[in-house]
Amino acid sequence: MPKNKAIEISTFVSHEVIERKILLIHGRKVMVDSDLAELYRVSTKVMLQSIKRNPRRFPSDFMWQLTKKEAKRLRSQFVTSKGRGGRRYLPYVFTEQGVAMLSSVLNSDRAIEVNIQIMRTFMKLREYFLTHRNLEKKIGNLEKHYDEKFAVVFKAIKALLEKAKKDTGYRRFDI
């Protein structure tokens, strides 16, 4: 693939766009089938057909279908129905590993480039949380060593860290 084409695709799908499509469901970071299909510029139906032709590539810890209750909660959070009648089946969600496997069944330049961007975004989020987790530990250790005069400072720092966690870009669904 020519270098300029790869740059064109990867800049078109930014980390921020991808981060907004990552959800936290059952404590796992996932992406919904329709969001992935939109990024790949294929219909959800075509994407799922490719997956159904390769079921061994998508075990239940890579991809699963939401229950009616979960789908209803997801729909109530976002307007997802487009056109007449909306979806006729329950949506599937994909973990990072499931998204990586998609590039093996969707054989297009765009799918490869979008997958690279998605993998980079997942790595960026992982690094972000590791950094914050380490910072929280260090602050906890400092709190133990210093007196109450700094309690206000530590409380303010913790509040900033919590705000930063909420601003990561993905939405949490405890369903």
Specify the higher pLDDT residue, 85 or 17.
Answer: 17
For the cut 80, the answer to whether the pLDDT of residue 1 exceeds it is: no
Asked whether residue 138 is domain-assigned, the answer is no
Most confident of the ranges 106-110, 139-143, 151-155, 169-173 = 106-110
Cut 0.85: pTM above it: no
Task: Express each pLDDT in 46-78 by its tens digit.
Answer: 999 999 999 999 999 999 999 998 888 887 766
Asked whether residue 172 is domain-assigned, the answer is no
> Which range of residues forms the domain containing residue 13?
3-123
33 vs 143: CA distance, rounded Å: 44
Mean pLDDT, the chain, integer: 76
Asked whether residue 90 is domain-assigned, the answer is yes
Asked whether residue 36 is domain-assigned, the answer is yes
Asked whether residue 15 is domain-assigned, the answer is yes
Q: Which stretches does DSSP call E strand in 75-174?
A: 92-94, 171-173
Please report, for residues 2, 67, 74, 99, the alpha-carbon distance to residue 90 in angstroms, rounded to integers and kept in the order given. 38, 7, 11, 18
For the cut 80, the answer to whether the pLDDT of residue 144 exceeds it is: no
Q: Look at the chain and report how many structural domains it folds into.
A: 1
Asked whether residue 171 is domain-assigned, the answer is no
Asked whether residue 130 is domain-assigned, the answer is no
CATH number of the domain where residue 19 is located = 3.10.260
Asked whether residue 166 is domain-assigned, the answer is no
